[in-house]
């Protein structure tokens, strides 16, 4: 079995394990105090769950020849599988999955806890392998995704930052890529008026933008030559 890391974040990230700390176990406080501590821990649990794991053999097989192949700029062993809770447009909690570089995995979990706390809706969150690594198909499905070993958008050469697992596209339909008259996904034209704010959209200075940029991400909506409103990246 490959090693794996499951992250149960407390306090600032999820508030899940306060009653299971070593301090609580060794405490000589009365049973009433222990009960109060347990109740406080339960109250602090907002329902957000996240895990960070290395890529297991089955997932590696599913990715190989699809989103990853020999010659990609990162090894599969440098990637992590992140599963986390997010709110959907249906106002129901869903479990999402991302593949990201190990260096940004914790930051992704932290950012998406912030988005969860503000009930920011995410349409879908599946590995891009579900779409045969077709970025256009993933965007058309309004799928939030990260790693995909592919060229820079609009080119057949070089590697996109998605190829390093250091980039994420959030709600591509509500936050389209816009360059001149090109809008991707095409249905994103309905969201090119950024002053008309609707659920799932990201704007400079809003709480989503602040959650990402506070963790060192740069936003494609700040670019001058084009606008990639769905895109956040941490450069190599």
Q: Is residue 227 part of a domain?
A: yes
Q: Is residue 221 part of a domain?
A: yes
- Could you give the number of structural domains in the chain? 1
Q: Is residue 22 part of a domain?
A: no
The strand order across the sheet containing 93-101 reads: 50-54, 79-87, 93-101
Predicted TM-score (pTM) of this structure: 0.82
pLDDT-derived band at 152, boundaries 50, 70, 90: confident
Q: Three-state SS across 174-219?
A: CCCEEECCEEECHHHHHHCCCCCCCCCCCCCCCHHHHHHHCCCCEE
Q: Is residue 78 part of a domain?
A: yes
Q: Is residue 180 part of a domain?
A: yes
Alpha carbons 24 and 73: distance in angstroms, whole number:
45
Q: Is residue 10 part of a domain?
A: no
Q: Is residue 133 part of a domain?
A: yes
pLDDT tens-digit series, residues 178-208: 999 999 999 999 999 999 999 999 999 999 9
Residue 206 lies in domain: 46-233
Q: Is residue 29 part of a domain?
A: no
């Amino acid at each position: 079995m490959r090693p794996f890391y499951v992250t149960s974040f407390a306090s600032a990230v999820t508030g899940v394990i306060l009653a299971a700390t070593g301090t609580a176990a060794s405490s000589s406080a009365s049973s009433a105090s222990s009960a109060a501590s347990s109740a406080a821990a339960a109250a602090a649990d907002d329902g957000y769950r996240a895990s960070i794991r290395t890529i297991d053999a089955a997932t590696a097989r599913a990715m190989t020849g699809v989103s990853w192949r020999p010659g990609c700029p990162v090894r599969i062993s440098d990637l992590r599988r992140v599963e986390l809770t997010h709110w959907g447009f249906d106002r129901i909690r869903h479990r999402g999955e991302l593949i990201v570089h190990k260096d940004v995995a914790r930051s992704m979990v932290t950012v998406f806890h912030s988005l969860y706390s503000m009930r920011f809706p995410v349409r879908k969150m599946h590995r891009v392998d579900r779409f045969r690594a077709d970025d256009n198909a993933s965007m058309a499905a309004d799928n939030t995704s990260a790693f995909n070993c592919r060229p820079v958008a609009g080119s057949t050469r070089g590697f996109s930052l998605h190829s390093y697992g250091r980039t994420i596209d959030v709600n591509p339909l509500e936050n389209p890529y816009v360059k001149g008259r090109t809008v991707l996904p095409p249905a994103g034209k309905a969201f090119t008026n950024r002053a008309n704010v609707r659920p799932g959209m990201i704007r400079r200075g809003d709480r989503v933008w602040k959650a990402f940029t506070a963790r060192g991400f740069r936003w494609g909506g700040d670019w001058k030559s084009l606008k990639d409103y769905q895109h956040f990246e941490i450069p190599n």
